[in-house]
Amino acid sequence: MNQSSALPPPPPLDRLAERGPLALFLDFDGTLVELADTPDAIHVPPTLCARLKALADRLDGRLALVSGRALDDIESHLPDIAVARAGSHGAARKHADGRWLGEEPEGLPEAAVQAMRRLAEREGLLYEAKSHGGALHYRAAPESGAMVLSFARDLAKEHDLDVRSGKAVVELVRPGADKGGAVRAFLETPAFAGAQPWFVGDDVTDDDGFSACAEMGGGGVLVGDRQGSSAHFALANVARTIEWLGL
C-alpha cells in the first residue's frame, strides 16, 4: 500500500485523456466540499451544480458523484444536479436524468435503527438516518471510536449487514454496498462504456472505488493525507481538487 505523502500529484485531465476517453467518479464530502462537524453543516457553493454539469459536458457525460450520503441527501444539497450519482456508498444509483440504475435498495431493519439511536442517545453521539443505511458520528467524542466500531460489528452480525467506517463515522449498510460496485455498474452503461475510469476521494471507503478503477485501466486520486491508500496520485485538499478538476 502507498502512503499519501509519497504520492505525486495527478497529471492534468487533458493529459490523462490522451490515453483514451476519460470517466471521473467523485466523492462529495472532503473532496468537493470541506468536511464539517455535522453532515448538515457543510457549505456547498451555489454554483457547484452548474460547474459539475459543465465538467460532465466536457467528458461527454462520463461523470458521476459517488457518496456515502443517501441520494435524497445529496439532492437536497445539490437541488439542480444533472449528472449521474450514487449514494449510500454506491448502493443507490441514478443516471444523469434521474432514472434509477438498477433497483432502489432496501433500508435497514427497524430493530437495527432503534439500537443505533439508543446508543447515540446514551453516549452523546450523532445518529444520521439514511434512506438505505444509518450512521453513527463520533467527531464530538473521538474517544468513542473503538466502542462504536465494536458495537456496529456486533449489530451487523445480528442483522446480516455490512459495516463501513470513515472519518469519525461508522455506518451500517446492506451487504454489497460499496463504491467499487457503483463504478462497475456505471461502466456497464452506454454513457460510460469503454472509458478510462478515475476515482477521486478522501476517505477509507473510497479505496473500493480506487481499486475498481485500477482494475479497469484507470486508478485513484487521494484527496488529503492518509496512509495505506491504494491511490496512484494525491491532491492536498479540496481547493486543489477543485482546481485540478477545473470546477
How does pLDDT run along the chain (247 residues), one tens digit per residue? Answer: 344 458 999 999 999 999 999 999 999 999 999 998 888 899 999 999 999 999 999 999 999 999 988 899 999 999 999 999 999 888 899 999 999 998 887 888 999 999 999 999 999 999 988 877 888 999 888 999 999 999 999 999 999 998 988 888 898 988 877 899 999 999 999 999 999 999 999 988 899 999 999 999 999 999 998 887 889 999 999 999 999 999 9
Q: Is 130 exposed, middle or buried (0-12, 13-18, 19+ CB in 10 A)?
A: buried
Longest dimension (CA), the chain: 55
In sequence order, what E strands does the chain have?
2-3, 22-26, 63-66, 84-87, 92-94, 126-130, 133-137, 162-166, 169-173, 196-201, 219-223, 227-229, 233-235
Q: What global pTM score does this model have?
A: 0.83
- Provide the pLDDT for residue 5: 54
Q: Which structural domains are found in the chain, ordered by start?
A: 2-104+178-245 (3.40.50.1000), 110-173 (3.30.70)
3-class DSSP state for residue 245? helix
Tell me how far apart the terminal alpha carbons of the chain are, to the nearest angstrom: 30
**CB–CB of 132/173 below 8 Å?**
yes
List residues with catalytic annotation.
27
Length of the chain, in residues: 247
DSSP track, 55-69 = HHHHTTT-EEEE-SS
pLDDT for res 239: 97
**pLDDT for the residue numbered 3:** 45
Indicate the SS3 state at residue 18: helix
Residue 6 DSSP one-character state: G
> Which single residue is written with the C-alpha cell 437495527?
112
CB environment 149-172: b (16+ within 10 A), e (fewer): eebbbebbeeeebbbbbbebbbbb
Phi, psi at residue 229, to the nearest 5°?
A: -80, 150
Integer Cα distance of 99 and 132 in angstroms = 18
CA 116/CA 109 separation, integer angstroms: 11
pLDDT at residue number 4: 46
Q: What amino acid is encoded at 57 in this protein? A: D
